[in-house]
Amino acid sequence: MSRIGKKGVAIPAGTTVTQNGTVITVKGPLGELTRDFTGPVDIKVEGATMVFTPKNSSKEARALWGTYASHLVNMVLGVNKAFEKKLIIEGVGYKVEAQGNTLVFSLGFSHKVPVEIPKDVKVSVEKNTLTLSSINKESIGQFAAQVRAKKKPEPYKGKGIRYGTEVVRRKQGKKSA
């Protein structure tokens, strides 16, 4: 039994949810998100709530029951208030520049590292902080992970790209005898 799936999703004022077969569209003040929910879970829009019921008692239906509910909660939250992630760039000479729809990183390599910005993600660059915002939680999380993977933080000096809330556990270096 899914606790999240049993609750349902409340639809706030100013947000409209339309269902066309298995495709659900959520419109809000910040934009519109569409997603296809084909699978073993029925989704019904009843007034100001969405109700989820599994079609059968299979393992797949029980697994996707809460997953679909979480996806719809994220869609409703995103069109009302954009999701935001901060990335911090640490290291001497490490920097980032926005050039059109690409980010160009200097990360201590012999070359610059370009990264294409997805269309639905907005980026603002300040000194050594990169702020990402989007109404789609999946695309912002995926893009932040791709950027962080270019130079993960290392444990000795803490150099690299890390999330704003991430704590890098530091290791002790070599000891002299």
Q: What is the mean pLDDT of residues 58-81?
A: 92
Kindly report the CATH number assigned to the domain that includes residue 56. 3.90.930.12
174 part of a folded domain: no
Query: With a threshold of 0.75, does the pTM exceed it?
Result: yes
The Cβ of residue 14 has, within 10 Å, a number of other Cβ atoms equal to 10
Final residue of a structural domain among 31, 58, 80: 80
Tell me: the pLDDT tens digits for 104-131? 999 999 999 999 999 999 999 998 999 9
pLDDT of res. 1: 62
Instruction: Name the residue range of residue 27's domain.
Output: 3-80
From 54, 80, 106, the end of a domain falls on 80
Q: Which of 102, 77, 80, 106 is nearest to 91 (CA)?
A: 106
pLDDT by residue (tens digit) across 136-161? 999 999 999 999 999 999 999 989 99
- Residue 150 phi/psi, 5° resolution? -65, -35
Place of tokens 């912002």: 140
Q: What is the mean pLDDT of the chain?
A: 92
Residue 27 lies in a domain: yes
How far CA 12 is from CA of 34, 146, 154, in Å, comes to: 17, 33, 43
Alpha carbons 156 and 172: distance in angstroms, whole number: 7
Helix (H, G, I), strand (E, B) or coil at 143: helix
Question: Number of structural domains, the chain?
Answer: 2
